Amino acid sequence: MDANSQGAVRLLRALLRTAALFTETGRSVYQDHFPHVRWMPVSDLGGHAVRLGLELAVLGHELVFEIRAGLEEDRFTIEGDMVLDGEVVQLALPPAATADVERFVAVLDRYAEELTEPARAHVGALIESFAQEV
């Protein structure tokens, strides 16, 4: 297998691993906070772009954790964020670009962890704030 093929395999594995991490996070948060949470994976492949993430519906609010990656002019680009109700950015990860597959995979892994780790805490905070309003 040549270097380009190995890079493509590494990239595909990293994207699948990221999708699986978001899926596992959604299931886990759902199980911890049932029946107050619904979840749906975000998965969109469009041309040279990929969107992966997780949508959580929590007591009338929508919390979206998302990574967007693409290929532009022989460089991989990536950015990610966590957005509440489609408007309030709770966490914005800086855009990055590289032509190196290994570096891109490392950033993808780091961004996936940075977005999934706080998911449970953010959901808990939303539920707690709702309980205080009642």
The Cα 32–Cα 105 span in angstroms is 30
112 CB-side CA count, 13 A: 24
Contact 70, 94 (CB under 8 A): no
**Average of per-residue pLDDT values in the chain:** 92
pLDDT in tens, 64-116: 999 999 999 889 999 999 999 999 999 999 999 999 999 999 999 999 999 99
User: What is the pLDDT at residue 128?
Assistant: 87
- How many separate domains does the chain show? 1
Indicate the residue type of 28: S
Task: Tell me which residue range forms the domain holding 42.
Answer: 3-133
pLDDT in tens, 23-72: 999 999 999 998 989 999 999 987 789 999 999 999 889 999 999 999 99
Supply the pTM of this predicted model: 0.91
- Kindly indicate the confidence band of residue 134, based on its pLDDT and cuts at 50, 70 and 90: low
